[in-house]
Structures are given as C-alpha cells and as structure tokens.
Chains A and B, each alone.
Chain A
Amino acid sequence: DIQMTQSPSTLSASVGDRVTITCRASQSISTWLAWYQQKPGKAPKLLIYKASTLKSGVPSRFSGSGSGTEFTLTISSLQPDDFATYYCQQYNNFFGPGTKVDIK
C-alpha cells in the first residue's frame, strides 16, 4: 500500500500570508494526486486534480505542484474563507491525514 503523509498537521497563519502544505507519498504516484478543502460539517471540495490542474471555479490563489513522491499546495495570499482543513489524496486510494489552517 502507498501511504500518504502531510506536513504540517496544523498551520497558523494570517490573512495575506503565503501558505504551503506538503504531501508525500511512500512511493511514486506520478501526478495522480488531488487536493481538497473541507470546512466543518461540509463535504470536501476539490481544489486541484492531477497534481496541478485547478478545478474550474476555484480561485487562482490556489496552486498545486509536484510529481512522484512530493507535492505541494500553495495559497498565494490567504483569505478569510481559506481557514479550513486541507487533504491530499492519491487517486483511487489513500488520503493524507489533513492539515488544519487556522488563524494566527
């Protein structure tokens, strides 16, 4: 099984900050990676698929990069609506444990 890890587990940041979350796979998954945002009580929302493709309608301050075993989700300028938990997922397989972005 390919395991997924994320770092950090919690991130405290301020509005306007540049934020980077890292996801690592235990072996290469090429670019078969997705990123989600989830707020309490809501279903996950797809942000990025195929490692770097921004889903239509998602603000351009979100971007994804990486391939193989290391991936990053970057929020270029954190907005109040972005405080949430973020998950990475290998396609048809495991999720990372999540990164909670909260207010500093």
Chain B
Amino acid sequence: GNSVTQMEGPVTLSEEAFLTINCTYTATGYPSLFWYVQYPGEGLQLLLKATKADDKGSNKGFEATYRKETTSFHLEKGSVQVSDSAVYFCALRGIQGAQKLVFGQGTRLTINP
C-alpha cells in the first residue's frame, strides 16, 4: 500500500539557517503530495502541495518539488524564523480508491533565536 517516510526528528536550528526535511513515498502511479504544518495546540494546516511530477509547491518561503524519479518531496526553506517552530507532516493521496491522506510520522522543528 501507499506509505510516506519522513526524516527523523527532532530538528533544531538557529534562526536564518537553511532547512531541509526529507520525505520519500511509496505509491502506485502519480499520487498528489502535501506538506502540512501543526503549530502547538492547533490542527493541521496545509502548507503546500504538488499534484504531478516536477511540480513545485511553495508557500511562506517554503518549497518542495515533486520528484518522481527519486519518489521524494523534500521540504526546504532558505532562512527559517522562530515562528516556523512546529511539527511538519509529509502526506500523499493516492490516485485510486479512498480520498484519505497517508501521513509520514512528522518532524518536530525548533528554531532558536
């Protein structure tokens, strides 16, 4: 079945550092890929998405490119801020059957000033 693997956390960086959170997936065909963010005490919010190979999703300075050849959707940001501290989830939706989201295990990110 479909699955998502994220880099293990937690990740701690200093403000203005470069961020990469790795995400790889296993799925049939061309799933849609998502990054969700969960701030403390809140629900999940969609951060960005990509629906086909080579698409780049971007939002709030974050970017991720759908790489079919490496089955990856790594999240990057050039200069992180303290306010980016949160838990980040990579997810996919398959092309057939249920419209459920399949999530990775989440990566907790802490940015120190």
Do the two chains belong together in a single complex?
no
Interface residues of B (CB under 8 A from A): none
